[in-house]
Amino acid sequence: MGKMKSDINRKRGGHILSDIMLLICAAVFCFAAWKLWGMYQGYHGGEKEYEQLRQQVTFRKKEKGGTGESGPDLCPVQVDFDALRKINPQIVAWLYIPDSEISYPVVQGEDNFHYLNYTFEGKKNFTGAIFLDALCRPDFRSDNSIIYGHNLKSGKMFGFLKTYYDTNYNDKADYRKRQIIWVIRPGGAMEYRIFSAREISVQKDQDVYTVGFGSEQGFADYLDQAVDKSLYHTGVEPADRILTLSTCTSSTEDGRFIVQATLIQD
């Protein structure tokens, strides 16, 4: 009789343990599902916001023209900065790369942290915003104007940079299909042509984020190094002011992928 009671108690204990394990598994599953739903909502919310902001951008009809004898390139987009400024007065430009997914407003905060977690409309969201380095001149007349954006798994924001320009990541990446970068500002547009693309380490390559140079020789040495370390040679000789697009990589914690372009039309 005592043995039977012991067996019954053991079975009850086993059932209770199984029930507890099932509850724990269910709780873990629910938490994971909740986190995934939150991520989806974040992606969706951020993408929807920027899609709506693109309604303030209109495209010109394609016209013949180009740098050289036929005349300067015409900026393909026009931006309603008055409307965008009412949403966020910290807007300084619109960034556009033809034949790509990159078409975003550019803001400049008081530091380089706020817009990592807040969108253009000021909503807390891990998509953040595309923003100009706080140390750069808002008119893009610094020696090196640096723009940051998140590398989202969805490919949005600056998630497309590696796909477009990193031949180690995508062997079909071809900068020639997207060699022009436009920075549209109130009253004008600046055209840049890509001369370098590569992955760097924030710890080892801090000089990449130099905004201003103390001498022409220092700037020239910087440009020579950028060309030498590029994944490929674009045939473009950098001069005058440059633009650096920077995003995180998934390969290392301090890894960044950068695309650099030189000003060819202001």
Q: Are strands 255-265 and 242-248 parallel, antiparallel or unpaired?
A: antiparallel
236 in Cβ contact with 204 (< 8 Å): no
Enumerate the domain spans of the chain: 59-265
Distance from the first to the final alpha carbon of the chain: 96
- 42's tokens: 């974040």
Q: Which bin fits 235, alpha (ψ -120 to 50), beta or left (φ > 0)? A: left
pLDDT in the model for residue 35: 41
- CA 176, CA 124: separation in Å to the nearest integer? 36
pLDDT in the model for residue 54: 93
Counting Cβ atoms within 10 Å, is residue 134 exposed (0-12), middle (13-18) or buried (19+)?
middle
- CA 233, CA 178: separation in Å to the nearest integer? 14
Tell me what percent of the chain is helix, strand and coil, each rounded to the nearest 5.
Answer: 35, 25, 40
- 266's tokens: 């202001």
Q: What is the mean pLDDT of residues 144-173?
A: 92
Average pLDDT of the chain? 85
pLDDT in the model for residue 105: 97
H/E element holding 16?
helix 2-53
Query: Of 47, 102, 45, 52, whose CA–CA distance to 77 is shortest?
Result: 102
> In the predicted model, is pLDDT for residue 250 greater than 90?
no
For the chain, percent of residues with pLDDT exceeding 70: 79
Instruction: Grade residue 20 by pLDDT with cuts at 50, 70 and 90.
Output: low
Using CA of residue 99, residue 104, residue 153, residue 47, what is the dihedral sign? negative
Tell me which amino acid residue 1 is: M
Between 20-29, 47-56, 192-201, 217-226, the lowest mean confidence (pLDDT) is in 20-29
Separation in Å, CA 113 to CA 108, 117, 131, 132: 11, 8, 10, 11
- 176's tokens: 């020639």
Beta-bridge partners for 260:
196, 244
> pLDDT tens digits for 106-131?
999 999 999 999 999 999 998 999 99
Instruction: Grade residue 73 by pLDDT with cuts at 50, 70 and 90.
Output: confident
247 in Cβ contact with 257 (< 8 Å): yes
Counting Cβ atoms within 10 Å, is residue 197 exposed (0-12), middle (13-18) or buried (19+)?
buried
CATH of region 59-265: 2.40.260.10
- CA 110, CA 132: separation in Å to the nearest integer? 10
- 37's tokens: 């739903």
Counting Cβ atoms within 10 Å, is residue 65 exposed (0-12), middle (13-18) or buried (19+)?
exposed
- CA 119, CA 226: separation in Å to the nearest integer? 31
